[in-house]
Amino acid sequence: MTRVLDQLPTIIRGTSDAARPTTSVLRIGNAAWLSLISAGLLTLAGILAIDLAEHAEGAASGPLGLAGVALKQAIFALLGLAAAMTIALPHYRLIKGLAIPAMAVAVLLLIFLLLPGIPSSIVTPRNGTRGWINMGPADFQPSEVAKIAYVLVVAGYMRYRREHRTFVGLIPLGILTAIPVGLIMLQPDLGTATLFAPSLLAMLLAAGARLRHLTLIVAAAMLAGPAMYPFLRPHQKTRIVALIRQFQGDQTTAGDINYQAFTAQTLIGAGGATGVGHDRARLLLELNRLPEAHNDMVIAVVALRWGLLGAVAVVLLSAAWVLGALLTAASCKEPFGRLVCVGLAAFVAAQTAINVGMNIGLLPIVGITLPFVSYGGSSILTVWLMTGLVFNVALHRPRPPFRPSFEWHDEE
Amino acid sequence: MKRLIPSMFHRRLVLIGTAYALAIAALALQLGHLTLVRGQQLRQQAEARLRYAEWIPTTRGRILDRKGRVVAHDRACYHVAIDYRVISGAWAREQARTFAHRLHRPEWRRLTPAQRDDLTARYLPAFERHVDGAWGRLALESGTTRDDLANERQIVFETVEAMAADLRTTWREQFLAQHALTGRALEPDDQRRLERQSTQEIAEQRSPHVIIRAVPDEIAFALLRLADQTTILDPTGSGDSASQARVPLLPGLAVEDGATREYPFESIIVEIDQRTLPLPLRADATRGIPAIGVLSDILGWMGTPTRETLNTRRDLTASDPAFAGRITAAGLDGQIDLGGYLPGDLAGTRGLEARQESYLRGLRGQRQIRRDTNQSVEFPPTPGQDVHLTIDVLLQARVQAAMSPDLGLASVQAWHANQALPSGAPLVGAAVVLDVDTGEVLAMVSTPGATQAQRRRAEGRVQQRVRREANAQAEHTLAQKEQRPPRLPLAPYDHTIDPDAMLQFNKAVGAAYAPGSVSKVIILLEAVRAGAYRLSERIACTGHLLENNPNQLRCWIFKRFQTTHSDTMGHDLSAPEALAGSCNIFFYTLGRRLGVDGIQQAYRNWGVGRGYDFGVGPTARGRVSAEDLGQAILMGIGQGPVTWTPMHAADAVATIARGGVHIQPRIVQDDAPAEPEDMGLDPRAIEAVLEGLDGAVHDAIHGTGHHITFTLAADGLTLADGTTTSTRELREEIFNIPGVRVIGKTGTATAREIDLLGPDGRPILDDLGDTVTVVPDHSWYVALVGPANGPDSGPGAGRLKYAIAVMMENAGSGGKVSGPICNQIVQALVEEGYLPRVAPQTQASGTPSRPAGGTP
C-alpha cells in the first residue's frame, strides 16, 4: 500500500522525473471542465426527472424526499464521480496499457452473456435482451465496458499508423469493430450496437481517413440498410414500421405499436415553452402512462416539467459536454489522447442525438438511454468514467516522446 | 478552409463539430415544433386524461291516468351488485396469481410464463371455493336461491360479453375504416394489432353489476355490514400463517341505490252495487269484486333492453332533431347520449312502457371533474317525461269487475241459453269505452285479467311451448330425411286454445271477430252512400231471402218463430225499423245490392283492414275478402269472410254519434290531437241509424236490445186464463240506470266451431271417441249513452257522450250476455262521474210476458 502511495506522484504525473514541476505536467485549467460541469448538471437534472417519473408511477418518497430509484441513481452518480476522479489521475499513457486487457475482458463477458447454458439467475433477460449480469443489488452491463475498451483499443491502434488513409487499411478496423458489435447485436441489442459506428466514423474522420472513402462506406451502408430489414427480429421490425406509420400520419397505431412514441410526443408538447409545474407534471405522467419514463423516455419528462427551455437546456448541456471533449482533443497534441476524446465524444453525441430523436418522433424507438440523465447504474458509471478519461487527457500534458499526428496532407 | 485552419486534424474536428451542431439544431427545431406549434393541441390531448366523468342518476317518467292518478312510477330502493370479475371468475384467478407471486417472490422473475401459470393453477381452487361459498352466503342472507343467483349471473355474464363483442366489432370497424383511408392493404402487423384489440377488456368487465333488485332495507343493511368483513384462506393447505391469504368475506359486493318500478293500481277491489244486476243475480248489498291486473297489459313492464330498444332509440335520434338535441351532451370523448343504456339498466319491453320508452326514460346527469383542480362541469339530470293516458283506471277497474266471472255476468247463466258451453263456465271478452267528443279511450278491457307477474310467466311458458314445437318439428324433418326414428315426440302447439297465449294480447285491439248484426249500422250508411238504398224505400222481410230456398239466408225471426218482421209489424220495414228489429232479410238485400266490391269497400271505409296500433301488444287489423255474391250477401249481416275488433265497433258508433265525423281513437294524450275527418255521410242516413238504435233499446216489442226474458221456477202459479204452470217468465229491461239515455245494437255473430265441453270442462266424446263440435256465437252489444233529457239533467243533456262496445267470446246472444255487462258499464260511468247520478225511481219489476218473444 505504501508502495502505491509512494508511486502515486509518478502515476499521476506519468513521469518519474521529479524535476518537472506539477504545473508543467498537469494543466489544471482546461477545456474538460466544461464537460465535467455539464456532466454534473445533467446528472442533477436526471435525478430530479427520475424522481418525478417514479412518483408518478406511485413510488414512495425515501430519504431526501427522493424515490428509491432516484436515490439509487444519485448513489451511482457519486460512485461514478469517484471513479472519474480515480481514472483522471494516472496519466493516460498508462491507461493505454490497459486497453487490450480491458477489451479482452469485455469480449469474454459479451461471449459469456450469449452462452446458452447460463441460468437466468445470472443473466436475466430484460425485454428479451440478454444484456445484463445480475450482481445482486444492481445489474452490470458489459456492453458499456466494451464501449470504453473499444475506444481505447482503436485509438491505440491508429496512433501512429497511416493505413487508414487507404481504403484497404480500413478493413482491419472494420473487423476490429465487428467483434464487439456483432456480439452485442446477438443479445440482441441493436441500439447499443449502432452507437459503435458513429464512434468509429468520428475517429477515422479525425485520424485523417480520406473523405471519399468514408463517404463511400456511409453511402453503401445506407443503401444496404433496407436490405437488412428481413434479418431483423420481429420487435425490431415493428419499431421501424411504427416510425413509417408515424411519418405517414397514421393515427391508427396510437393505441399499440406507436403508443410509446405518441405518448412521449404528447407529453413533450404538453410541456409547452416553460413546462407545467411539478404537481401537474406528476398527474399528467400518472394518467398518460409513459413507458420507460425513467430511462429511455426521460427527456419527455424533462420537457413536460421544464418545457422547451428545459429540454433544449439538456440538449445544449450534452452538446457542451461534447464540445468540451472536442476542445480537449483540439488542445491535445498527442494522438492517443486526441482519438480517445473524439471517440468518447462521438459515443455520447450519438447516444444523445438518437435518444432525443426517438422521443420526438424522428427516429424509431430503440432501447438506448440519455447519457447522464437516464436511470441506469452501468450507464451512469460508464459516462462518468468517460468524463474522467476526457478530463484525464485534458489534465495531463503529453509526455514525450510524441509527435503531432493526423496532420496529413492530401498527397500522403 | 485550409488556409484558415492549417491543421487537418483541427479541420476534421470542425467538421465533426459542425455535423453535430446541425443534428442538434434539427432536434431543437423538432422540439420547438412539438412544444410551440403543436403544444396547445398536445397539451389538450394530455390533459384529456385529467378529466373523468361521473354519472348522476335520474328518474323515469310516470304514467298517469285520465284523472291524474299515478299508475306507474319509480320507487327508491336498494340493489345488490357484484363486481364483474367475481362473476366471470377473473377475481379468483387474479387473487391466485397474486398469492403465488407473493409466496414465490424470490424466484418469480426468473420463471417462464408457463411456470407462473402452473403455480397460479395450484392455488386457484381455494379461491374458487371461496367464491362459491360466498354465493351461497349471499343467497342465504338475501333470501334468494343459489339457482336464482346463478341465473342472474349468467344473464349478466352473457350481456356483458355480448356488449364487449359488440364494442370490439365497432373498434375493429373503426380501425378498418381508418386503415382504409390510408389506402394500404392489411399487413400481418395490422392483423396482429387487430387480434390484440379483440381481447381488450371493456369498462363493464371491471365494474359491479346488479344481481338482486329491490332488496328490503333490512337485508341491504345486513349486507352492508358483511361487506366490510374479511376472512382467511389457506390455499396451500399447510396451516402455515405465512402462506395464508386474507380476502373479503363477500368479494366484489356492493349495495347500490336504485329504483324499482311500481304499479299502484295493479289490483283493485271494486265495490259493485248489485241492485242493478239482472234479477237472478240481484242483491241489495254491494259486493267487492277483485279486478286483477288492471291496465297491466296496457302499461306493460320493464326488462333488459333488447336490440329493438336500442334500435328504436337510435332511429328516433336520427329522425327527430329535437329529440336528438335534448338527449345529447358534450362528453369527455365526444357527444354522448345522456339517456343511453348502461349495463344493469332496465327499459320498457312491453306495452306503453316500451312504446313510450324514449319519453319515459330520464336523462342522466354527468359531472366532469378535473383531477388536478377538482373543478367540475355538471350537466344536471333530466327526469323522464310523464305520459298521460286517456284511460281512467278506476273506470277500467269497474269494467273489468263487471266482466269478472265472480260477479256472474261473465259466466254461463241459465238465461244465456248457451248451447256451446257448460253452465257456470267462465266467459272472456273485451269492452271499449270511447269519449264521443274527443275520440279518447276511457277504458279498454280484455279478460281474463292477470297481474304483470302472471303475464310474464305465461309468456315464458308460451315461448317454451313454441320452441318445443319447433325443435320437435325440426327433429322429425331430420329424422325423415335420415330415415330413422325421431328422438323427440311431436309437440303440436295450438295457441288459440292456450290460456297462456290469451294473455299476450288485448282482445279489444288484438283479436278480430265476426261482427254479426252490429255491422248493420254501417251497412245501412254505406248502402245509402253508394246509392244502393234510398231512405224512403221499405223492404219486405220475407223470412228467407231466396224464394225457392226456405232453409238458407233466413231471418232470425223466421228461424226461431217461423214468422217474418213484415208480419209482426204489419208492414214492410223502414231502415230504422230494420235496425231495431235486426232484420236479416233487409240487410241481405242491401248486401246483394252493394255487391262484392261495394261490400268490401263499405267495411274498409270503416277501418276494417287497418288496426289500432296503440302499442299494447299485437294489433289485429280485421279482414274483409269477399269473392262471390253469396259471401257479399252474408257480409250484409256481418257474417261470412269479415272480421273486426271491438275497437272498430266502438269507433264506428262513436263516429255515428258525431254525425259521421271520424276521430282516430287514442290512449295517450299527446300534443297533437287527432284530426277529425268527415266521412261525408248523408245526415238523414245518420238520423235513421240513430233512430234505429233508439228503437233497438226502447221498442219493447220489436227492439232486440230492450229486454231479457228470465224463466223462473214457480209452482202451481195460476195464470190469467186459469191454467197453472210450474214456470213463469219474467221480462226485464236490460238498461235500468236512471237519468241516462242509452241507445244501441245487439249482435250475435256465428263463430268458429269448437269442441263441446262437459260440466267438468273436458271435451265430450261421442261413441267413436271423437270430440263433438258445436258452433258458438260471439255476443256483441254496442251502445251510445248520455245524460237523459229531463228537468235535472243539466247542460248537455240529450247528447250522446260515450260509445261502448262489449264483446264476449262464444257467449251466445248479444242482448242476453253483453247487454247486462253494457248496463254495468253505464253504471260504472255514473259511479265515476261521467254521467249524472240520479236518485232511482221505483224500479220496474218486470212484466209477465207472452210465451212468444225473446231476444236474439
Question: Which residues are registered as beta bridge partners of A327?
Answer: none
Q: Which three cell numbers stand for residue B606?
A: 270503416
Q: Which three cell numbers stand for residue B454?
A: 302472471
Alpha carbon of B479: minimum distance to chain A alpha carbons (Å) = 52
Nearest to B135 by CA among B190, B202, B87: B87
Tell me how far apart the alpha carbons of residues B228 and B230 are, in angstroms, rounded to a whole number.
7
Q: Which residues of A touch B109 (CB under 8 A)?
A: 120, 124
Question: Which residues are registered as beta bridge partners of B426?
Answer: B411
Alpha carbon of A17: minimum distance to chain B alpha carbons (Å) = 31
Contact B27 A349 (CB under 8 A): no
Residue type, A45: A
Mean pLDDT across B300-320: 90
Angle between helices B8-32 and A190-207 (to 10 degrees): 140
Tell me how far apart the alpha carbons of residues B335 and B330 are, in angstroms, rounded to a whole number.
5
Q: Is B766 helix (H, G, I), strand (E, B) or coil?
A: coil
Query: Are B517 and B638 a contacting pair, CB within 8 Å?
Result: yes
Tell me how far apart the alpha carbons of residues B743 and B535 are, in angstroms, rounded to a whole number.
20
Contact A205 B24 (CB under 8 A): no
Confidence of residue B589 (pLDDT cuts 50, 70, 90): very high
In a domain, A322, yes or no: yes
In a domain, A253, yes or no: yes
Q: Which three cell numbers stand for residue A67?
A: 424515490
Q: What is the per-residue pLDDT for A8?
A: 67
Contact B13 A342 (CB under 8 A): yes
Helices (H), B406-498: 452-482
| Nearest chain B alpha carbon to A342 | B13
- Residue A267: which of B10, B36, B46 has the nearest Cβ? B46
| Separation of CA B534 from chain center | 45
Contact A252 B9 (CB under 8 A): no
Query: Are B843 and B726 a contacting pair, CB within 8 Å?
Result: no
Which letter does DSSP use for residue A129 in this model?
A: B
Tell me how far apart the alpha carbons of residues B649 and A287 are, in angstroms, rounded to a whole number.
68
Interface test with B, best of A158, A284, A354 (most B CBs within 10 A): A284
Contact B38 A248 (CB under 8 A): no
- Residue B47: which of A119, A284, A362 has the nearest Cβ? A284
Each residue of B605-626: b (16+ CB within 10 Å) or e? bbbbeebbebbbbebbbbebeb
- Residue B12: which of A206, A322, A353 has the nearest Cβ? A206
Contact B179 A280 (CB under 8 A): no
Confidence of residue B854 (pLDDT cuts 50, 70, 90): very low
| Nearest chain B alpha carbon to A310 | B31
Nearest-Å Rg of the Cα atoms of chain A is 22
In a domain, A179, yes or no: yes
Q: Which residues of B touch A361 (CB under 8 A)?
A: 30, 34
Confidence of residue A240 (pLDDT cuts 50, 70, 90): confident
With 0-12 CB in 10 A as exposed, 13-18 as middle and 19+ as buried, what is A285?
buried
* Residue A89 pLDDT greater than 60, yes or no: yes
* Residue A64 pLDDT greater than 80, yes or no: no
Contact B27 A322 (CB under 8 A): no
Is cis: bond before B113, omega within 30 of 0? no
Q: What is the per-residue pLDDT for A21?
A: 60
Q: Is A323 helix (H, G, I), strand (E, B) or coil?
A: helix
Range of the domain at A129: 2-13+40-395
Q: What is the per-residue pLDDT for B227?
A: 86
pLDDT, tens only, B333-370: 778 888 889 877 889 999 999 999 999 999 999 988 88
Task: Identify the residue whose cell numbers are 288485448.
Answer: B506
Question: Which residues are registered as beta bridge partners of B441?
Answer: B434
3-state percent breakdown (helix, strand, coil) of chain A, nearest 5:
70, 5, 30
Tell me how far apart the alpha carbons of residues B624 and B610 are, in angstroms, rounded to a whole number.
11
| Nearest chain B alpha carbon to A299 | B31
Taking residue A257's Cβ as centre, other Cβ atoms within 10 Å add up to 24
Average pLDDT over all residues of chain B: 87
Contact A315 B8 (CB under 8 A): no
Nearest to B391 by CA among B529, B261, B506, B531: B506
Nearest to B703 by CA among B811, B815, B779: B815
Q: Which residues of A touch B17 (CB under 8 A)?
A: 323, 326
Q: What is the per-residue pLDDT for A127?
A: 67
Tell me how far apart the alpha carbons of residues B827 and B824 are, in angstroms, rounded to a whole number.
5
* Residue B846 pLDDT greater than 50, yes or no: no
- Residue A303: which of B8, B26, B35 has the nearest Cβ? B35
Q: What is the per-residue pLDDT for B790?
A: 60
Interface test with B, best of A233, A285, A287, A341 (most B CBs within 10 A): A287
pLDDT, tens only, B272-289: 999 999 988 999 999 999
Confidence of residue B848 (pLDDT cuts 50, 70, 90): very low
Q: Which residues of A touch B16 (CB under 8 A)?
A: 202, 205-206, 326, 342, 345-346
| Nearest chain B alpha carbon to A363 | B27
pLDDT, tens only, B410-466: 999 988 988 888 888 999 999 999 999 999 999 999 999 999 999 999 998 898 889
- Residue A208: which of B12, B50, B197 has the nearest Cβ? B12
Confidence of residue B382 (pLDDT cuts 50, 70, 90): very high
Alpha carbon of A102: minimum distance to chain B alpha carbons (Å) = 27
Q: Which three cell numbers stand for residue B148?
A: 336464482
Tell me how far apart the alpha carbons of residues A262 and A268 are, in angstroms, rounded to a whole number.
10
How far is residue B523 from each of residues A368, B513, B517, B598, measured CA to CA in Å? 95, 17, 10, 10
In a domain, A34, yes or no: no
Interface test with B, best of A229, A241, A266 (most B CBs within 10 A): A266
Alpha carbon of B8: minimum distance to chain A alpha carbons (Å) = 5
Q: Residue B621 half-sphere exposure, CB side, CA atoms within 13 Å?
A: 6
Confidence of residue B845 (pLDDT cuts 50, 70, 90): very low
Alpha carbon of A73: minimum distance to chain B alpha carbons (Å) = 22
* Residue B197 pLDDT greater than 80, yes or no: no
Q: What is the per-residue pLDDT for B843?
A: 45
Alpha carbon dihedral A87, A89, A90, A91, in 10-degree steps, equals 110
In a domain, A107, yes or no: yes
Longest alpha-carbon distance in chain B: 162
* Residue B560 pLDDT greater than 90, yes or no: no
Q: What is the per-residue pLDDT for B2?
A: 67
The tally of domains found in chain A comes to 1
Q: What is the per-residue pLDDT for A340?
A: 93
Mean pLDDT across B278-302: 92
Q: Which residues contact B357 (CB under 8 A, 6 or more apart)?
A: B309, B312, B313, B347, B348
3-state percent breakdown (helix, strand, coil) of chain B, nearest 5:
40, 20, 35
Nearest to B448 by CA among B491, B479, B404, B407: B404
pLDDT, tens only, A3-38: 766 766 666 666 666 665 656 667 777 788 999 999
Mean pLDDT across A398-405: 69
Q: Which three cell numbers stand for residue A403?
A: 509527435
* Residue B853 pLDDT greater than 50, yes or no: no
Mean pLDDT across A175-182: 91
Q: What is the per-residue pLDDT for B792?
A: 54
Contact A283 B371 (CB under 8 A): yes
Q: Which three cell numbers stand for residue B377?
A: 362541469
pLDDT, tens only, B634-682: 999 999 999 999 999 999 999 999 999 999 999 999 767 788 999 999 9
* Residue B855 pLDDT greater than 80, yes or no: no
Contact A270 B175 (CB under 8 A): no
Q: Which residues of A touch B178 (CB under 8 A)?
A: 251-252
Mean pLDDT across B160-170: 83
In a domain, A400, yes or no: no
Confidence of residue B850 (pLDDT cuts 50, 70, 90): very low
In a domain, A407, yes or no: no
Mean pLDDT across B554-581: 88
Nearest to A398 by CA among A316, A314, A335: A335
Tell me how far apart the alpha carbons of residues A291 and A276 are, in angstroms, rounded to a whole number.
20
Percent of chain B with pLDDT over 70: 95
Question: Which residues are registered as beta bridge partners of B727?
Answer: B713
Confidence of residue B715 (pLDDT cuts 50, 70, 90): low
Contact A353 B28 (CB under 8 A): no
Q: Which residues of B touch chain A, with CB atoms under 8 Å apart? A: 7-10, 12-13, 15-17, 20-21, 23-24, 26-28, 30-32, 34-36, 38-39, 41-43, 45-47, 49-50, 109-110, 175, 178-179, 182, 187, 189, 193, 196-197, 371-372
In a domain, A26, yes or no: no
Tell if the pTM clears 0.80, that is, is over it.
Answer: no
Q: What is the per-residue pLDDT for A48?
A: 93
Query: Are B807 and B818 a contacting pair, CB within 8 Å?
Result: yes
Contact A272 B39 (CB under 8 A): yes
Residue scoring higher pLDDT (B715 or B232): B232
Q: Please, what is the end-to-end C-alpha distance for chain A in angstroms? A: 50
